[in-house]
Amino acid sequence: MGAQIREMVLADYDAVVALWKSTPGVDIRPVTDSRDGIERLLVRNPGLSVVAVNDRELVGCALASHDGRRGFLQHVVVAPSSRGQGLARAMIDRCIERLREHHLGWVHLDVVVDNEAAMAFWEKAGWHRVDTLTRLSRAL
């Protein structure tokens, strides 16, 4: 794995969005994934989100946040050219290490319903479906 993992900063925003847009199965939200939305996430959750950079090219990202009780991972993405090198797991491990410092009980993530490749990745990494809950959402 030649890429370096570092804390995400707002200056990474354009490259991160380009990576999301080039990745099938990533659900980009107009408010929360806007520049302002990501800035709010980074300010409220300093040091939790990471990017992976290889020769100045952003090749991965993982957003992490918490509400004081539970942690959340979102938009964990690795560019196709950098997959299979353990980069996603390294980013996830870094995020979880940082989330543990906040003494949270759980870490949750959402997977788009028909994104079977992502579901297979997460299940292989030891995550499991929660069949006792259904996520409900409402726009503000």
Tens-digit pLDDT profile for residues 81-111: 999 999 999 999 999 999 999 999 899 998 8
Is pTM beyond 0.85? Reply is yes
Instruction: Output the pLDDT for position 134.
Output: 85
Question: CB neighbours of 48 closer than 8 A, spacing ≥ 6?
Answer: 63, 64, 65, 66, 95, 98, 99
Strand pairing partners for 78?
60
71-85 pLDDT, tens digit per residue, is 999 999 999 999 999
Spatial distance between the Cα atoms of 98 and 55, rounded to a whole number of angstroms: 25
